[in-house]
Amino acid sequence: AQSVSQHNHHVILSEAASLELGCNYSYGGTVNLFWYVQYPGQHLQLLLKYFSGDPLVKGIKGFEAEFIKSKFSFNLRKPSVQWSDTAEYFCAVNTPNQAGTALIFGKGTTLSVSS
């Protein structure tokens, strides 16, 4: 069965620090990869997604992620975080060409940014 691992449960950073959140998935075939964010009191929102092509994808609010197929990884990065980036971040995966397209999520990483 597919699974997604997020290595960091809680990350605490100061404003302007760089961010990298790890995500690994277990599936040998073609996958679609997503990062979702949940700001306090809000619903899950899509940050960015990868389906094919350039493995470096850019999302909203200055976030980017790199798909490294050989490492089964899809790490999220941001060069300089802001206080408003405080949120919970979820990595998710699904597979094309299957009847069910539901997302498989990691457990999430809570990011706390201090000003």
Residue 85 token pair: 């980036």
Enumerate binding residues for another protein (CB under 8 A): 4, 32, 34, 36, 42-46, 49, 51, 90, 92, 94-108
Work out how close the CB of 112 gets to another protein at its nearest, in angstroms, rounded to a whole number.
16
CA-to-CA separations, 24 to 39, 63, 68, 89, 94, in angstroms, rounded: 23, 18, 10, 14, 13
Of the pair 99, 115, the CB lying nearest another protein is at: 99
Contact in structure between 89 and 36 (CB atoms under 8 Å): yes
Of the pair 1, 115, the CB lying nearest another protein is at: 1
Neighbours of 85 (CB within 10 A): 20
Of the pair 100, 115, the CB lying nearest another protein is at: 100
> One-letter amino acid identity for 14?
S
Work out how close the CB of 111 gets to another protein at its nearest, in angstroms, rounded to a whole number.
15
